[in-house]
Amino acid sequence: MSFKFKDDNFWMNKLTSEQFQVTRKGGTESPFTGKYLDNKDEGLYSCICCGEILFDSRKKYNSNSGWPSFTEPYDDAAIKSLEDRSYFMVRTEVKCDICDAHLGHVFPDGPGKNGLRYCINSASLNFIKKK
């Protein structure tokens, strides 16, 4: 199923209003409010829109930014990065490569081997707890 070409009506019927605003309209949730910010369970984070696996909980850390943060994606091919010049800033936006959902942003100040911090909205994620 091709998710990239679904219209707003499809997504409005599939997502909550917050999930729609974040993933389809490039919004953001308020800092320190996301349901996965303090999640410490082991498992995988998938795209709320299409189900693609995006992040592994073993790469999640507390960046004190107000959003769930990861040092790297589960698979580089699942994520694409684009220049974002909104709000009078230059940032790198992160999107799901399968469905084009806005996930958050990536910054070059992380603790991992690549020095990256994937700052991701909880509203764009679903958590699959390890059994």
Residues with active-site annotation: 119
Beta bridge partners, 38, equal none
The length of the chain in residues reads 131
CA distance 81 to 73: 12
Contact 102, 27 (CB under 8 A): yes
Tell me the C-alpha to C-alpha distance, in Å, between residue 82 and each of 41, 86, 97, 104, 111.
30, 12, 11, 11, 22
